[in-house]
Amino acid sequence: MMRNRMKKKDAQSALIQSYIGSSEKQQQLYKKTLIVVILSQIFGGAGLAAGITVGALLAQDMLGTDSVTGIPTALFTLGSAGAALFVGRLSQRYGRRFGLASGFLAGGLGAIGVVFAALTNNIFLLFGSLLIYGAGSATNLQARYAGADLAGSRQRAQAVSMAMVSTTFGAVAGPNLVGVMGNFATSIGIPALAGPFLLAASAYILAGLVLLILLRPDPLIVAKAIATAQKTDSKLQVAGNSDTFLLNKRGVFAGAAVMVFTQFVMTAIMTMTPIHMGHYGHTLQAVGLVIGFHIGAMFLPSLVTGYLVDKIGRAVMAIASAVTLLVSGIVAALGSADSMVALVTALVLLGLGWNFGLISGTAILVDATSTSTRAKTQGSVDVGIALSGAIGGGLSGLVVAHFSYGILSIACGIFSLLLIPIIIWARIGKHKEPSQIQVTENSI
């Protein structure tokens, strides 16, 4: 058995080594990785959307009160934040395949736990399972990094955008299957509201298995091997292109700030828009229409955004994100609350600004990190993204309660402009640190 294990390890090492000197094989693996990630993201999107659609309703039904309807979202977000760190560290140590598959499988187990909680009417099991279920959301977000591991500097944003677009298909399908899964659950003796979690469990587990089986060889492990080979090349050492110089701290901060700020602004305004519309007599159908346009704007433009980020630069698109969010806030604040056109316009701009920010910020972060720390750093940043969304959603209610929806929207728009001096600061820092320019010339 030991001999077979050694042979298997040697064969795997030889396979990884075969990619180091062949740019053609690297491109082939890059394209294969994108296909596998896209497939997993379709399932992952369905798992994410199907479950969160009815989580609050299930808690309300089990306890018979509205006072706990916010707890599922809070637990889901907290679980997502913790899992982001866990998945990032697993990926850094064992590769994307193991890290991402573990996250999706954990999300699937959490969804199964929710179903058992509904069957046994156990609220503590429900809350604990929702916490674990959040791992699927974190993994769904981190999978975008896997496609960029072997991408060239002018391909990274497009690789991220492909993963995001593929998430849309599952995210759209999930909520539309809520009724079907509810009927199926009832037919087998499970509460109807637990039905979508059956879909979520199946989708997350399938996403995990797709990655576990098909993501071979692991793109991050291959990228590490390539970086190690480059590091030992004497010519590259003379040029200062050593792995020890591959951490651009300003670039990491700038990329993280872009994603954290845009997540905060987007979540704050989006969370309170349905409440705002309800105060002015809009129907649930109208609310669904506005949020539907918003979600579409968050993901569907990704391919174009990725192309623009790679073509005209990370900094330009990050600044475009801030400006778009500002315009969204102004339209939301000054537009008539009775006008569906104004509301849709504001929320579409909000989704588009978030899209610009997430893709440009991700590209900046990937550019600014080395393979030796990349996955761990990405996981830590995604923790910040999850927490910023939770804080934005929580603070938005307080602002609207004490002031107004208009004040919230304007304040969020102005807040987003803080990204502009951060991006300028990061660009200035890049030119002051020539040892980092060799390897991060496209980072900002």
pLDDT 10s digits, 42-54? 898 888 776 666 7
Peptide bond into 217 cis (omega under 30): yes
Question: In a 10 Å sphere around its CB, with 0-12 CB exposed, 13-18 middle and 19+ buried, how is residue 53 labelled?
Answer: middle
Residue 6 pLDDT level (bands cut at 50, 70, 90): low
> Is the separation of the CB atoms in 427 and 348 below 8 Å?
no
Question: In a 10 Å sphere around its CB, with 0-12 CB exposed, 13-18 middle and 19+ buried, how is residue 438 labelled?
Answer: middle
Q: Return phi, psi of residue 280, to 5°.
A: -105, 20
Which pLDDT does position 358 carry in this prediction?
Answer: 95
Single pTM value for the model: 0.80
Which pLDDT does position 53 carry in this prediction?
Answer: 62
User: How many domains does the chain divide into?
Assistant: 2
Tell me: do 303 and 333 sit in the same domain.
Answer: yes
pLDDT of 97 higher than 90: yes
pLDDT 10s digits, 307-348: 999 999 999 999 999 999 999 999 999 999 889 999 999 999
> Is the separation of the CB atoms in 300 and 172 below 8 Å?
no
Tell me: do 270 and 353 sit in the same domain.
Answer: yes
* Share of residues in the chain with pLDDT > 70 (%): 84
Domain membership of residue 2 (yes or no) is no
What's the angle, vertex CA 242, arms to CA 367 and CA 143, rounded to 5? 35
Tell me: do 218 and 338 sit in the same domain.
Answer: no
Residue type, 358: L
pLDDT 10s digits, 103-157: 999 999 999 999 999 999 998 999 899 899 989 988 988 888 888 888 877 788 8
Question: In a 10 Å sphere around its CB, with 0-12 CB exposed, 13-18 middle and 19+ buried, how is residue 103 labelled?
Answer: buried
Tell me: do 171 and 280 sit in the same domain.
Answer: no
Domain membership of residue 237 (yes or no) is no
**Distance between CA atoms of residues 430 and 426, nearest Å:** 6
Element (H, E) at 326: helix 314-334
Tell me: do 222 and 289 sit in the same domain.
Answer: no
Tell me: do 53 and 137 sit in the same domain.
Answer: yes
Tokens of 397: 């209610």
Question: What single DSSP character describes residue 442?
Answer: T
Other CB atoms within 10 Å distance of the CB of residue 190: 19
> Is the separation of the CB atoms in 318 and 356 below 8 Å?
yes
pLDDT 10s digits, 20-64: 878 888 889 999 999 999 999 989 888 877 666 677 667 777 877
Domain membership of residue 414 (yes or no) is yes
Q: CATH number of the domain that 324 lies in?
A: 1.20.1250.20
Q: Return phi, psi of residue 95, to 5°.
A: 110, 160
Which pLDDT does position 58 carry in this prediction?
Answer: 79
Tell me: do 194 and 251 sit in the same domain.
Answer: no
Tell me: do 160 and 306 sit in the same domain.
Answer: no
Other CB atoms within 10 Å distance of the CB of residue 336: 10
**Can you state the percent helix, strand and coil of the chain, rounding each to 5?**
85, 0, 15
Residue type, 153: S
Distance of CA 94 to the CA centre of its chain: 21
Tell me: do 258 and 305 sit in the same domain.
Answer: yes
**Distance between CA atoms of residues 270 and 267, nearest Å:** 5
Q: Which domain holds residue 420?
A: 243-440
Q: 360, 83, 374: which is closest to 219 by C-alpha?
A: 374
Tell me: do 168 and 278 sit in the same domain.
Answer: no
**Distance between CA atoms of residues 66 and 212, nearest Å:** 40
Residue 436 pLDDT level (bands cut at 50, 70, 90): very low
Q: 88, 40, 42, 16: which is closest to 369 by C-alpha?
A: 88
Please give the residue that has the higher pLDDT: either 392 or 443: 392
Please name the residues in contact with 177: beta carbons below 8 A apart, sequence gap of 6 or more: 46, 50, 196, 199
